[in-house]
Structure 1
Amino acid sequence: MIQLKTLNKKQLAEFVSSGDFEKYDFLPITAHRAKSHINNPKAKDEQTLLILAFENEDLAGYIGCFPDEFKIENNRFSYAWLSTLFISEKFRGKRIAQQLLNKVFEEYNGNIAITEFTKEAESLYNKIGVFNYIEPKFGKRFYFKTDLATIIPTKKPKLKTIQPLFSIADGAFNGFVSLKNIGAKKPDFKFEIIEKPDEESTKFINQFESNRNTEDFKWMIENPWVLEDEKPDERYLFSSFSRIFKYFWVKIYDENNELICCSLLLLRNGHLKISYLFSNNKLDRFVDFLGWFVTKNKVKILTSYQTQLNETIKKKSNFPKIYERDLERRYMFHQNLIKNLPEKFNPNFQDGDGDCVMT
């Protein structure tokens, strides 16, 4: 028989500090991710953050919850994202995933959202029949270097034997691109790259409708789910360590030294994401900054779901991309969440909403 155990902030802290989370065949959470969940400013003390499934004394699986809020007029509406769902191979076929999901729905009264799901997870969510798709976000992925040595063998394993040839091709083409971009100049307008939002940033972004504020951004930056390290912990099946994982808070000014743009960037192993962007002006200066930043930090890929930004990039002939492709990010809301929100409610999601900014 499967027993479920729910953990709120206090219980999760005790679970990790006692070392109990490490005594199983696999980790249900990492210590630094638990710390981040506990410090989440959107999470209430009584809300469930992690649910464990046991058969006798054996950990069979788990599901993680990531509390969040919508700002609706002057009120705050609490809901949660599903952030992890894992069932051990030894316990597959016992409908444990369904039991964990049902417990999450019970804990949050169905106020559950999901994004960035795998095809297998999406199939499960559709099968249980309680989720509806809402309006997706459409984005772009811009490429600045080739990575044939990784991409081709991944898609066609039979070609792995000639991976060295792809590496040579990458080196030759990317060497040419590097020479082409070697003259990239630092923007001649004022900008700042700082560790986290300051008072000026706070005043600026308070002008905009957003699900997030500067306190949230500071929490994200100070409590990452991913730490910089060469080797991941193989007992945890989700993001935990990465060779490069850095946040950047960017401020762009106009010719009168007035702040016109703020953005939270996330760089992970050569992949740059525009997690949040606030601007009350044209984005030409921010795009010029991005072109320089990409070259300076040897960025391979830029992912952006910021429609206006992507349109501005397409108009910039000097932006150092070599290729681009379209993206779609889908979202699923539990039917109860949809019922509890105003009719035709626009969640106003940015790139980093959900747990995307954390991974």
Structure 2
Amino acid sequence: MAVTIKSYTTAQLEEFIHSEAFKHLPDYPISKQRAISHINNPRADKDDVILYLAMLDNKIVGYRLLLVENIIHKGTTEKVAWYSCVWVDPNQRGLGIAKKMVDAALKDWELKIVFQGPVKASKQLYTKDGFFKQVDLAGIRMYARFDFKTIIKNKQPGWKIALPFVGVTDKLLNVFGDVLLNLRTPRFKAESKVLYVNEIDEELNAFLLKHQQNSPFKRAKEELNWIMKYPWVFSAPTNDALGKNYYFSSLSTDFRVFMIKLMDNEKQVKGFMLLQIREKQLSVYQTYLEDEKVAEAAQLIYQFVKTYKLNTISLFQPQLVNYFNKHTTPFLYKKPLTRAYFYSHKLAHYFEEEQLIFQAGDGDMVFT
């Protein structure tokens, strides 16, 4: 039998995840918490197609999820979709399953697709037909603590047997490294000008909109409150029953998202940061800063690293990248970081003629 593609709209997805058929699937194409988040996406309509299942002999052999987004520019709004997670049964490779799902999404969304760079093995799938153009976002990654275990795990999977010994080495090195980090980290003196928030109010929303002129997606009050209310990943000490049947993240031993308001002496908003911690890694997303607050934002990042004993820091916000490149840090090492984004040729005028710029918090990165 040939592979067929079945699609689900937002409304149909809600019915699907509450069905008996979904409950008894051998492999889940989406977790319930992730589905509920998509269903409550303020930019999604009930008839938007967001999930594709590849079926062979009535069995799921692949799936592709999309995140509904809007490009907002000069008073107009154009609905687009972000490619999110994709999975193909490794026993069914060579049947063109991934391409069938890509083609189905391009057709349904009339080529209005954007996504963050795929893994090398699948990049040709998206680029060979000339549908997509690439733009790179320049960033920086900083290493605050020794973490050879994670590096080897990601780069040399065949060295699995050595990981326990490498982990012990990391711990021993960090006994001394943490002492030096604490000594070299300057004391944060601006607590009275920082406010942690769990939702965006009107004052903060006005600040965000003012600083989003070159952002295509302009996530503000409604979207950020949705992100905080409907996470895709929960913190838990162990895996659960879903983990054996779902190939993407639903749990993490440590997953936290912070929204931070930076103010001046008169309590006027001068900066906003959205930070994510996941298992000793700090990612800086959706950050807008007045020039006077850049150094203070950097000092706050130092405090996060020190307090939570974070291993790595990744960021792409231009002001902060420039700051960390020009200043000595208390960290062990820093290096340039590049993230590739792709947009279909149908959306080229936004990113070429209008010069809109992708940001690290765009798409589904903040959720995972």
Q: TM-score, normalised by structure 1?
A: 0.92
Paired position in structure 2 for 1:300: 311
Q: Deviations 1:261-293 (Å, cap 9, x if unpaired)?
A: 111111111111111111122301111111112
1:217 has 2:224 as partner: yes
Q: How far did 1:159 drift?
A: 5.2
Secondary structure at 1:93 match in 2:
coil
Q: Which amino acid aligns with 2:190?
A: D
Q: 1:153 and 1:251, CA in 2 relative to 1: closer, same or farther beyond 3 A?
A: closer
Paired position in structure 2 for 1:81: 82
Secondary structure at 2:223 match in 1:
helix
Q: Deviations 1:99-122 (Å, cap 9, x if unpaired)?
A: 211111111001111213111121
Q: Which runs of 5+ in 1 are unaligned?
A: none
Q: 1:29 and 1:207, CA in 2 relative to 1: closer, same or farther beyond 3 A?
A: same
Q: 1:253 and 1:155, CA in 2 relative to 1: closer, same or farther beyond 3 A?
A: same
Say if 1:53 and 1:59, in contact at 8 Å, map to a contact too: yes
Q: Deviations 1:104-150 (Å, cap 9, x if unpaired)?
A: 111100111121311112122233x1333332101111111011233
1:210-289 correspondence runs (5 A) = 210=215, 211-229=218-236, 230-231=238-239, 233-282=243-292, 283-289=294-300
Q: Deviations 1:332-355 (Å, cap 9, x if unpaired)?
A: 22233336x485233322111021
Q: TM-score, normalised by structure 2?
A: 0.90
Q: How far did 1:64 drift?
A: 0.9
Q: 1:160 and 1:81, CA in 2 relative to 1: closer, same or farther beyond 3 A?
A: closer
Secondary structure at 2:135 match in 1:
coil
Paired position in structure 2 for 1:111: 112
Q: Which amino acid aligns with 1:250?
A: I
Q: Deviations 1:39-85 (Å, cap 9, x if unpaired)?
A: 11111221101011212321121111111111120011111111122
After TM superposition, the structure 1 stretch with the greater mean CA deviation from structure 2, 137-146 or 168-177, is 168-177
Within 2, Cα distance between the matches of 1:345 and 1:54? 41
Within 2, Cα distance between the matches of 1:342 and 1:182? 42
Within 1, Cα distance between the matches of 2:352 and 2:147? 45
Q: Deviations 1:215-270 (Å, cap 9, x if unpaired)?
A: 11111111111121231613211222111111101111223433211111111111
Q: Deviations 1:306-326 (Å, cap 9, x if unpaired)?
A: 121111123443x33211111
Q: 1:187 and 1:63, CA in 2 relative to 1: closer, same or farther beyond 3 A?
A: same
Q: 1:100 and 1:160, CA in 2 relative to 1: closer, same or farther beyond 3 A?
A: closer
Identical columns (%): 27
Paired position in structure 1 for 2:142: 142
Q: 1:160 and 1:84, CA in 2 relative to 1: closer, same or farther beyond 3 A?
A: closer
Q: 1:102 and 1:205, CA in 2 relative to 1: closer, same or farther beyond 3 A?
A: same
1:328-347 correspondence runs (5 A) = 328-338=338-348, 341=350, 344-347=353-356
After TM superposition, the structure 1 stretch with the greater mean CA deviation from structure 2, 69-78 or 13-22, is 13-22
Say if 2:117 and 2:342, in contact at 8 Å, map to a contact too: no
1:1-359 correspondence runs (5 A) = 1-127=2-128, 129-152=129-152, 154-156=154-156, 160-182=160-182, 185-189=187-191, 190-209=193-212, 210=215, 211-229=218-236, 230-231=238-239, 233-282=243-292, 283-317=294-328, 319-338=329-348, 341=350, 344-359=353-368
Within 2, Cα distance between the matches of 1:99 and 1:45? 23
Q: 1:62 and 1:207, CA in 2 relative to 1: closer, same or farther beyond 3 A?
A: same
Q: Which runs of 5+ in 2 are unaligned?
A: none
Q: 1:89 and 1:22, CA in 2 relative to 1: closer, same or farther beyond 3 A?
A: farther
Secondary structure at 2:314 match in 1:
strand
Say if 1:36 and 1:223, in contact at 8 Å, map to a contact too: yes
Q: 1:29 and 1:164, CA in 2 relative to 1: closer, same or farther beyond 3 A?
A: closer
After TM superposition, the structure 1 stretch with the greater mean CA deviation from structure 2, 143-152 or 226-235, is 226-235
After TM superposition, the structure 1 stretch with the greater mean CA deviation from structure 2, 197-206 or 25-34, is 197-206
After TM superposition, the structure 1 stretch with the greater mean CA deviation from structure 2, 251-260 or 48-57, is 251-260
